[in-house]
């Protein structure tokens, strides 16, 4: 068994991406730059953006979502992000976390 160079490069890239998004969070003024960098690093090694970051920036203009530069709406079980920078939309499927809600609705008996 040998770890391929590709795999290693990807792991390193992921670490860098994590780091860049941390910096973006704590450095709002340069956030967009960090997003662009992270994206570049990912593309170099063919690494898709980690799920947790996909919704943190605009895929059209790499605008890092913060404060009032984006809007979130839900429609037909989709979450729609509207980027105020480039005026484009991004749609994501709504993540429904297990069946907690349904279960709590079934338990309508009052606690005694």
Ranges within 16-35 binding Zn ion (CB under 5 A): none
Secondary structure element (H or E) that encloses residue 12, with its range: helix 5-26
- What the block records as the tokens of 78 is 């989709």
Whichever of 49 and 63 has its CB closer to Zn ion, that residue is 63
Q: Determine, following the binding rule CB under 5 A, whether residue 84 of this chain makes contact with Zn ion.
A: no
Is residue 2 classed as helix, strand or coil in its secondary structure? coil
**CA 103, CA 97: separation in Å to the nearest integer?**
12
Q: Determine, following the binding rule CB under 5 A, whether residue 71 of this chain makes contact with Zn ion.
A: no
Q: Determine, following the binding rule CB under 5 A, whether residue 86 of this chain makes contact with Zn ion.
A: yes
Residues that bind Zn ion in the complex, under the rule CB under 5 A? 58, 60-61, 63, 83, 85-86
């Amino acid at each position: 068994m040998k770890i391929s160079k590709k795999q290693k490069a990807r792991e390193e890239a992921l670490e860098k991406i994590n780091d860049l998004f941390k910096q973006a969070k704590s450095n709002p003024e340069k956030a967009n730059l960090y997003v662009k960098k992270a994206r570049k690093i990912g593309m170099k090694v063919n690494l898709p953006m980690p799920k947790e970051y996909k919704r943190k920036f605009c895929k059209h203009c790499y605008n890092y979502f913060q404060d009032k530069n984006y809007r979130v709406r839900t429609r037909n079980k989709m979450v729609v992000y509207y980027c105020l920078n480039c005026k484009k939309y991004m749609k994501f499927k709504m993540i429904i976390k297990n069946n907690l809600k349904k279960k709590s609705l079934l338990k309508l008996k009052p606690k005694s």
